[in-house]
Amino acid sequence: MLKGPQQLCFDCHEEKDMVAVKAHAQNGTKSCVACHDPHWGTDKYLLKPPAKTSPAGK
């Protein structure tokens, strides 16, 4: 990959617009790919599916 994930996002999306989104500020990360997967494709916002958790003690 010639560019990092953030730069790929900012090729099409303005960084200032993405930083202003409330959900982005609340998640505490500055990495787009922490929540979004450009290869996921089925979600309107390309959000990753929720992480599966195992029951406590297993």
Give domain limits for the chain: 1-48
pLDDT recorded at residue 31: 78
**pLDDT per residue as tens digits for the range 7-20:** 777 888 887 777 77
Task: Check: CB of residue 40 under 8 Å from CB of residue 47.
Answer: yes
Task: Check: CB of residue 6 under 8 Å from CB of residue 17.
Answer: no
Nearest alpha-carbon partner for 34 in 16, 15, 51: 51
Place of tokens 């010639």: 2
Q: Fill in the amino acid letter for 17.
A: D
What confidence category does residue 56 fall into, taking pLDDT thresholds of 50, 70 and 90?
low
Question: Is 5 a residue whose pLDDT tops 80?
Answer: no
Q: pTM score, two decimals? A: 0.55
